[in-house]
Structure 1
Amino acid sequence: MAIPDEHRPTPPVPRTDPRGDPFLRTQFAVPALPVTFLRRDRLLKHLDEALATPLTVVHGAAGAGKTFLAADWASARDRPIAWLTARAADQGHGVFWAYLLEALRLAGLPLPPDIEFPTEAGRVDDGLLLRLAARLETADVPVVLVIDEYDRVTDPEITDQLGFVLTQAGRGLHLVLVTRTEPLLPLHRYRAAGAITEIRNAELAFTPDEAADLLAMHGLRLPAADLGALLERTRGWAAGLRLCALAAGEETDPRTYLKEFEADRTTIADFLLTEVLKRQRAETQDLLLRTSILERFCPDLADALTGRTDAGLILAQLHHENAFVEYLGHGWFRLHPLFGEILRAHLRMSRPGLETALHRRAAQWLRRSGSLAETLGHAAAANDWQAAADALVGDLAIGEIFTGLHSDELSELFSGMSADPASPATDLVCAAREISRCDVERGLSRLERAAQALARPSVSSVDDAADMAATRLSCALLEALAARLTGSPGRAERAAAVAVRLQPEVPERLLEAHPELFALLHTYLGSARLWAGRFGEAQAALSTVVDAGRAASTAQPRKECLGHLALIDYLKGFPARAERKALTAVTAADSWESPQVPEPGLASLVLAAVAVDRDELDRAEALLDAAAGARRSWPDPVARAGQSIVTGRVLLARGDPHAALEAADRVVPADVASPWAEAHTASVAAAAHLAEGRPDKAVKLLEELLEDEPVCLVGAARAELAAGRTGAAAELLDRLSPRGDVGPAITVRVALVRAQMAEGTGDLTGQRRLVAQALREARRDRLRRPFREAGPWLAPLLHTVPLRALAEGWLMPGPQGPGGPQGSEELPVIEGLSARERDVLRRLAQMMSTEEIAADLYVSVNTVKTHLKSAYRKLSVNRRHDAVHRARDLGLL
């Protein structure tokens, strides 16, 4: 039965905005959360605390999780929250306020009759705003209004009106703005008054724990290192992490995918291109694409790439809009890593060939105003090797190839450079690279070509004067290195003289920026002088480097110089001094050392030589192996000669004179013969002949070198004495007596030879006096080897009083026997003590208890015990007293 029309219910009249259009209910609905949404309690807590201020602003990049965060918080509140998505903000003031009033009504706020909806789309009555503020001010419970997508509100008048209502409503309104950009409100006033809470992009980023939980929701678990790499690449960006997790879930090897995915081939690219890039003006898109080739950029550099002058304003606006442009401070910006990857791929696809030109242009700008590393990177990316070489050489940075800090990076960067184009700069870089890779022959060939080109008068008129001076100075550095490697002291002196002459022509800022250049130059000069046997001059050059400061870039040359200085001390017969310098060189105990700097093999070689003198042959062999492994495979004559000499001495001590002779016969190629290398090599060979009963052959081998070398005089005297020519032996030792620059390693041997001579003359008192003298001089340095080499005549004397007392505990077993503390042979320190370990030892030497040391250093007792255990290990001792005694012997206290 039909219902008469007059009895049918009247349908509700739909509410409409000022344009007469029905309200879009989706704009008042709190967005639904995805199934894989991760609740982040730290942010929810921050929003709860934000209710103490009238204004809260949640602003971050697209996909940062702003809306879902606000929606999760709103859904968890115990009372209704007015929610408005501001998509109608561009339809006029009246439309915006009509939507806002409808949001308040739907949240349960009764509006009095005098608060009517605006009737015009383009305007709103000021009285309406005043009445609304008054109604909110009298609300029993403060109204919480969330406006999402507030970045769509671009009309300053709407912002002023909203600010008016917020201010006049007092505690009756708490406004939460969710936006990609900072709102147009006068935020500085709110901040100054403490009336605003802000949750920014950085706080919205996922923490490692949150990222792990999010991936776990997708069934993914990553090791900490892989998770850290993913967070670094995404910067904790919520949408990026979610999209990565979704994509990885479809892969057979999710872990590998998350490590190696190409951002431009993922849905992340679609998101960023649509939500960020394409929403920008054409000029902004162009700037973003061009700057995508840069790791960082400033407005001037960006202008250089665009050819315009508006980068400063654009970049500031992009940063303000959270458009994946990060501000680094001091006028520099960078792109979000994923955004940069995607933009670069888009650049290659949309503008083929432009990327290379941009790299070249960036290199040109950076060469004038930026960092060298960035200049080199862009020049290499443009395949402009001439520009790259000019930058490295012109910046006076060629020494960085040899410092150990950037050697690998520079070698890798220039690996793509071919032999052409050929110029002094490219030849110098090739020479340095080849030498650093131990291809010395090819390196010296390129160096010679560069030197010949620089010698031509026409070259100086082509380039900038400062660049030319830097190029010539770089060439002088490599010339000094070549001199060191070829054993050519004269060439090193000439190179050093050229460098000193050129120094005033090079800008002071370059010299200050690259202290390693002259540090390396003096290292090479000192090594060449050492090879020539000019120890005093070598020490002057080497000490200049050691005393010049502790910049990271000079750590390697300082270590090398310490190794050379240690060798000089050893050659002069001062093993303890040599050991101290060598230990400093091979350890990283001091704060200026860098873990990237390799250990110098020469210092390990000196420690091996000292170990031989102490008759610690196993340790000597281990140190020889360490020296061979640490030393570059350069034809460095100093290290090669030292290796042969110490190897021969170890073989002699092991009782294999034939093998020792073979080691001594190894030829070290060099332009100039080294007096000390020849003398010590001959000394090893003579000792081998003497061990096999050929004293005359030993004498003949040494007689040509007797005049200047103490080691030869002592060796020849031993051989003459073995041949029964006591008078000849005495004459040789008399020639050595006036010299005051020889240490105990020589004088102990001299005393023992004289003692053996005294036995032949029947002067037993003199013999014992000389042996006692030798024991006293050897004891501090624990020089055992001279006594082992002396022969069977010595053993009975050492068991007599008072000689036994002088020998016990270090040369002979002490009263407690071989197993007792005095009878144990102390081993040299191979690993240096840390500063804190030395602090503990100093207090140990003052007889302080463990508890007293802990209180004095403000650390725990367990920490003191840890330092003590480490110090005992390094000092090769087991007791406090022995640790203090050993440290004093080594000059550590």
Structure 2
Amino acid sequence: MHATTRELLVRERLLRALDDDTARITLLHAPSGYGKTTLLRMWVDAGRHTGRLLWVTFGASTTTRNSVWEQIARAALREGLVTSLQFEDLLTLINTDDFEKRDLIAAMRGEGAFTIILDGYERLGDLARVIDEDLLRGTEHVPGMRAIVAARGRTTLGQQRLQLHDRVHVISNVDLEFTEAEVDEFFTLVVGESRHAAPRDVYEATGGYAIAVRAAILELSRSGPRAAHWRENALNSTNLSGQLPNEELANFARITSVVPYFDTSLARMLVPNTDPDAAIRVLEADGFGRHIAFTRTSRAFQYVTALREALHEELRTESPAEYKRAASIASAWLGGNGDPEGALDLALEVGDYELASRICARLLLSVVEAYTTDRYEARLQHLPQEVLAAYPILAFVLGLARLANPVLRGGAKPLLQIAAGMRIPNGLSPERRTEYLCFKVFASRTLGRYQESAELARQVLDVVAAQGAAGSSTTLSPVFTRGAALSLFLVGDVKGAHAAVASTFVVPQSQSSRNLSFSDAAGYKAIDGDMPASRAMLAQIDDGAWTTTSERGHLGTFGHIARSYGYLEDQEWAMARATLEDIERHTVTSDLWPHLQEPIMLARLAQGEALAEARRVEEMLDGPLATPGNAESLGLFRVKAFLVVLWLAAGRPARARKLLDGYAADDFRTLPARALLALVDGDADQSMRLVSRSLDFVKTPRMRMSVHALGAAASLRAGDRDVALSMVGLASSLGREYGLVSPLLLLPDRDREALAILSRESGGADDVEMFDSLDVATTIQEVSAMPQFTERERVVVHALARHASPARIAEELFVSPNTVKTQLRSAYKKLGVHSRPEALRRAESLGLLRDRSDD
């Protein structure tokens, strides 16, 4: 043999075709065995690409658009194009719910030219169409980006129109076939002369099919009886391992094929009796694979795809025990080298569930999106019940995946129950113990066991605090810390939640992770009513570090809530609602849904839409949120308390009383709502008593301002102007310090007006400014002030919703226009309005436009 196969498989005409970057996408489109990967390897080895190179080979587990771009991001990390923290931020971006065109372009944009090689593209299946569009958008909008795709399956990139417009250059199987001249040259250089065949014989036998040409020439280059059987051996496509020089190297290749790529350290663990450096040198020299960038300072070896598939199947079917041993070792190696999902697939394939559990624990620890995606459902759905019961972390991950998918959500509860009831093994390190506790925290909370979840969260935080006090470096992942904080917040431990989130700011983490901590902290502060602190937290968020999560993504929900409250306190009611409109769809049945409702409910109250909003919220409470066993969190209670306000504003006191009847009369949480109901009923003394008791319990600025305002109204009704002025002063002081105005929406109209007059007569400038600053026409009116329409007036008001002019109403009702005008004047007077829009808004808020027996 005169030269190595690696040197002789270079075909200049094909390399020149790859050099041509006139079209920003090059498609190598041919069946298996035509040498697509080999050609790409040689082109890269010759250094003919422009700029940095990202090489990704897809496997069968690549089933989502996100996972495609994750693999490309990992290649960028290996090539040193991004730092580890930038890589984490990029993963956050890719895994947001609304990862779209603009984010894709931002993700791919680099400082210089770069080439993405996507090998094994056919494994994407139907997903290929989506990635086709991504690549077309990217190469059109990202300067310096080029993509080379090797595919044997269908792809829209091969469409004629794309070639005609120079957007895609296609290298087909016809192009990849060896010409007779190339076979002749290859034969001469490798074989020289042979008594068994001539170059033309090889060409005619193989038809130029690359893998067959290569196999035939290798057989003919060997001495002995095998050369005589070159034809059948060359055409036996399942005998790829037979092309290897000796059995030791064939065994090395079979075992190392268990993993998509490997370095010498893994090879030594897999095949301890073979020198990996020497084996890899021979394999690479003979064209069986190539080195790829693994980290910035090291490389890994990757087999030619067709060879690896054959070797992998051979090992799996003929040596199952060896395959399981090798797969477990390789899985642990992949997990430790930045490919947790590849590691998980391999561990699950061979039934190493203990290893799979450890990998899942690492995923949950480091990948925030693992809690909000159903991508792991396909990987875990086939696990038998006994495995899930024995390995509760796997049950937990599968439960989360099903919870993220509306179609599968019903099957999440039994899996989460397994996780919530898991026993923590003895003898674990503090780090591992806190991990197990955190899984129980999340599982319990998701099941609605809020008090249990909060107690476990305190245990987690106490373990970490004790380790810190003892001088240990044990820290809790920000993902877990934020989860523990949420569990505390949901049961009203506001101080503990704030402290937990604050502790994440001193932990090393990516900027997108810091953004999430600032987002949560801003939301907690806004819900409490500390708007200056909330705005300060929002100001710390680096919007450039996450392109979508900060705008509409689920993970930043508390940030969206904080922004909505900001608009609410600025009295921009429509913006307060719009900020949360697209967020709610992600969180309809989650712990966060209730906290999304309060600013919306207040905004619609201010806009005179109390009845419509009350009906919407009640339908939600009776629908998706009424699942059995869904315990009441602090947020869910607050929604019901504000629903009391909405029903009162809509003139439906019976509905408000019905809500409160579901709680004990001495339940301190209900005292502010009961105080408002008493005020609307005209019982000022009872309202004042309830206000006094409420002040012993309410601690947050928002609630204290509301209660002080209610107390001022009750005192004024009782004739005690001094107490009323004093409580107005307390309310205005809170409003000024914390930037609040929305608590005044909870006052009935007549009380707000009376207190405004009192402030102008006897109060301070801050008191006057507080009432003057609220720009709202009406919110809550007393039942006694409800308009008492005649039947004809009610009919005319209904008709007013359909027709703008009295003449059209008169025509519909078969009466004179003057009669209609008279009835409308009377109705307007009873409604306390002066125009049709005001009348319709007021009538809707009082429930007069629809026949409904709510009381």
TM-score, normalised with respect to structure 2:
0.52
For residues 161-560 of structure 1, what are the structure 2 equivalents within 5 Å? 267-270=209-212, 281-282=245-246, 283-284=248-249, 287-288=252-253, 290-306=255-271, 308-316=273-281, 324-326=289-291, 328=293, 333-335=299-301, 340-347=304-311, 353=317, 360-366=324-330, 369=333, 371-372=335-336, 374=339, 377=342, 380-381=345-346, 384=349, 386-393=351-358, 396-397=361-362, 399-400=364-365, 403-404=368-369, 411=376, 414-415=379-380, 417-419=382-384, 422=387, 424=389, 426-438=391-403, 439=408, 442-449=411-418, 454=423, 475-492=436-453, 495-496=456-457, 515-516=476-477, 519-544=478-503, 546-552=504-510
The answer for the alignment partner of 2:744 in structure 1 is: 786
Q: CA deviation at 1:442?
A: 3.7
Q: CA deviation at 1:504?
A: 13
Structure 2 counterpart of 1:806, from 769, 774, 795: 769
Whole-angstrom CA distance in 1 between matches of 2:548 and 2:454: 29
Whole-angstrom CA distance in 2 between matches of 1:378 and 1:416: 17
Whole-angstrom CA distance in 2 between matches of 1:398 and 1:33: 45
Whole-angstrom CA distance in 1 between matches of 2:529 and 2:684: 24
Q: Does 1:642 align with 2:605?
A: no
Conserved 8 A contact 1:496-1:521: no
- In terms of Rg, which structure is larger? 1
TM-score, normalised with respect to structure 1:
0.51
Change (3 A) 1:497 1:750: closer
Conserved 8 A contact 2:261-2:301: yes
Q: CA deviation at 1:341?
A: 1.0
Q: How many residues align?
A: 585
Q: 1:353 aligns to what SS in structure 2?
A: helix
Whole-angstrom CA distance in 2 between matches of 1:717 and 1:505: 44
Higher mean alpha-carbon deviation, 316-325 vs 441-450, is at 316-325
Change (3 A) 1:288 1:748: same
Change (3 A) 1:760 1:671: closer
Whole-angstrom CA distance in 2 between matches of 1:505 and 1:325: 50
Whole-angstrom CA distance in 2 between matches of 1:323 and 1:416: 36
Whole-angstrom CA distance in 2 between matches of 1:353 and 1:605: 55
For residues 51-200 of structure 1, what are the structure 2 equivalents within 5 Å? none
- What amino acid maps onto 1:446 in structure 2? L
Conserved 8 A contact 2:614-2:646: no
Q: 2:608 aligns to what SS in structure 1?
A: coil
Unaligned runs of 5+ residues in structure 1 are 1-30, 43-59, 70-205, 212-221, 235-239, 814-893
Whole-angstrom CA distance in 2 between matches of 1:742 and 1:501: 25
Q: 1:625 aligns to what SS in structure 2?
A: coil
Whole-angstrom CA distance in 2 between matches of 1:429 and 1:421: 11
Change (3 A) 1:328 1:466: farther
The answer for the alignment partner of 2:31 in structure 1 is: none
Unaligned runs of 5+ residues in structure 2 are 1-9, 22-38, 49-112, 119-134, 178-205, 219-239, 777-855
Conserved 8 A contact 1:574-1:745: no
Q: CA deviation at 1:312?
A: 1.9
Q: CA deviation at 1:429?
A: 0.8
The answer for the alignment partner of 2:606 in structure 1 is: 653
Q: 1:437 aligns to what SS in structure 2?
A: helix
Higher relative contact order (CA 8 A, sep 6+): 2
Q: Does 1:625 align with 2:586?
A: no
Q: CA deviation at 1:451?
A: 7.3
Cα offsets for 1:421-479 (capped at 9, x unmatched):
62655443133222233056644423545677858xxx98xxxx769x99876553332
Change (3 A) 1:565 1:260: farther
Change (3 A) 1:224 1:657: closer
Cα offsets for 1:783-807 (capped at 9, x unmatched):
2561684525655957969689836
Whole-angstrom CA distance in 2 between matches of 1:343 and 1:610: 61
Q: CA deviation at 1:340?
A: 1.9
Conserved 8 A contact 2:377-2:401: no
Conserved 8 A contact 1:713-1:733: yes
Q: CA deviation at 1:326?
A: 1.9
Conserved 8 A contact 1:575-1:610: yes
Q: 2:376 aligns to what SS in structure 1?
A: helix
Q: CA deviation at 1:207?
A: 8.5
Q: Does 1:750 align with 2:708?
A: yes
Q: CA deviation at 1:386?
A: 2.8
- What amino acid maps onto 2:415 in structure 1? R
Whole-angstrom CA distance in 1 between matches of 2:635 and 2:340: 46
- Percentage of pairs with the same residue: 12
Q: CA deviation at 1:775?
A: 5.4
Conserved 8 A contact 2:419-2:439: no
Q: CA RMSD in A?
A: 6.2
Q: 1:530 aligns to what SS in structure 2?
A: helix
